[in-house]
Amino acid sequence: MTRRRWAVGGFVWTVVVGSGLHFTYALSGDAWPVGLVSAVNESTWEHLKLLFVPTVTWVAFSGRGGQGRATEVRVAHIIALLAGLLLIVVGFYSYRSFLADQLVLDILLFVFAAACAHFAPLLIAPRLCPGPVLLRVAWLVLIAMAVAFAVATVVPPHLPVFQDPRTGQYGFGAAQH
């Protein structure tokens, strides 16, 4: 499979699975294990899982896209994923500073971030020459993010990014169906 086709597959996977993860917690009857990997409320933080979880699963289970050395591809995906997550946060708070809640913009922002997470590695990987230290750092960042998602869902800091704008609550306690 070519790298471009692999990126398209990852993008489609992320958009479809990420969209589904928006609803899985409620559909599970609020099962807390499901909440660790899907959005438990409408906070910005919880919506980051919609990009993080499917992107990480795609990269972890689909190999390296048929081309390139595994180290470059993995590091490029971690960099692109972090850029996509940052894009969601910055984009959301930027547009919300001058517009009311816009579901269409939220969806477009998610799709654009998914494109960033899967197509940017096509540009990044060939330019990388990471050594084993950079690969370890990249994996540690990825693991730290996974732990942060789980911990901040169970015990969220009382900061705006973690607050459900509909209920004013945080984490599992903010879930409302």
**Predicted local confidence at residue 1, as pLDDT:** 60
101 vs 60, higher pLDDT: 60
Both structure tokens of 145: 């993010």
- Model confidence over 60-79: pLDDT tens digits? 887 655 455 667 778 888 99
- Model confidence over 106-124: pLDDT tens digits? 999 999 999 999 999 988 8
In 3D space, the residue among 32, 20, 38, 23 whose CA is nearest the CA of residue 173 turns out to be 32
**Predicted local confidence at residue 63, as pLDDT:** 62
Q: Are 139 and 90 in contact (CB under 8 A)?
A: no
Rounded to whole angstroms, how far apart are CA atoms 121 and 35? 29
Rounded to whole angstroms, how far apart are CA atoms 46 and 51? 10
Angle in degrees, 0-180, between the axes of helices 3-21 and 44-61, rounded to the nearest 10: 140
- Pure H helices in the chain: 3-21, 24-27, 32-35, 44-61, 70-96, 103-124, 132-154
Q: What is the DSSP letter of 158?
A: S
Angle in degrees, 0-180, between the axes of helices 44-61 and 70-96, rounded to the nearest 10: 160
Q: Which residue has the tokens 């692999």?
A: 6
What does the domain layout of the chain look like in residue ranges? 3-172
Rounded to an integer, the average pLDDT of 6-10 is 93
Q: What is the pTM of this model?
A: 0.90
Containing H/E element for 126? none
Q: How confident is the model at residue 130 (pLDDT cuts 50, 70, 90)?
A: low
